[in-house]
Amino acid sequence: MRICVVGAGAIGGFLGATLVRGGQEVSLIARGAHLEAIRARGLTLVSGGRAETLSVAASSRPADFGVQDAVFITLKAYSISSVLPTHGPLVGPETAVIPAINGLPWWYFYREGGRFDGTLIHSLDPEGTMFACLDPARILGCVVHMAAEVTGPGEVTHTAGRHFILGEPDGTPSARLGRVADALAAAGLEVTRSAAIRQDIWMKLIGNLSYNPVAALTLAYMNEINANPGLIALLRVMMEEAMAVALAYGIRIPVTVDERIEIARKIGSSKISMHQDVEKGKPLEVDAVIGSVAELARRAGVATPMIDAVHALIAERARHVAAR
């Protein structure tokens, strides 16, 4: 397949390198020193203590690569709205666009099938401009369970996981879902084809909205958070509130809070994404990871006092990070 990865950071760099090793025709959209290093020396993937450098086409301009079979968007959620208007040259009538991003996606209610079908999430896409830039019929849902970090220009270090969950917004087992899933599996990734992608989104999200803000506020690694009883008590309340919000929208999380925490423990000593962003002085994914859940809670009349409190704290932290 011809596959373009828009955003060659931690997740995108890992995905791109893995697909190159799997024999796909891969191109990367990157920028700055990271792009220059990839062009000059290739993309280095460090995983399991082993470093491998791969040659891969990279540019800052989508127009350089033409129409693709699949386009993975692996940008931070807050960057997508500014990039979507430039993606047109990559997308043809048969192209699958796969936003592999943290938090609730802007397309969440597209073909949701219930009373909220087509509703906008205002904290993510207040004017509907993202829907206007990208035909949502092109979208294939994706949830990523892995951890990685950009450890230098042109270098990505993979620390945990390699699981990609793919699913159509309407739950159908489409041919394009099969093609993309097969390409990822052939590259050695763990792939699940989901008939209920929104449940998978919430399954990851209840961990993201709790662990990520706490990591950003405390600068603690995952194993340190999991070893702190006070923080675990806080996370437990946030997860319970998030499960109540999900249920208000017809999604029942298939695990208990304790089981979800045990899943998070498997990530080990990783420095998760919002922690990385604070240290690097980058914007934080506040709206996608926690603000959107607070918005849906208000819309459904679900009380989320702990989520609201942590949302206020992390939004203020994000303001100070941006002001540096």
Given the residues 76, 204, 266, 282, select the one marked as catalytic. Answer: 204
The answer to whether the CB of 307 falls within 8 A of the CB of 294 is yes
The answer to whether the CB of 304 falls within 8 A of the CB of 297 is yes
Say whether 271 is catalytic. Answer: no
C-beta atoms surrounding 223 within 10 Å: 13
Rounded Cα distance, 114 and 42, in Å: 46
For the chain, state the CA radius of gyration.
19
The answer to whether the CB of 168 falls within 8 A of the CB of 139 is no
Name the strand (E) or helix (H) holding 193.
strand 190-193
Rounded Cα distance, 313 and 240, in Å: 19
Q: Is 157 left (phi over 0), alpha (psi -120 to 50) or beta?
A: beta
Catalytic residues, which ones? Answer: 204
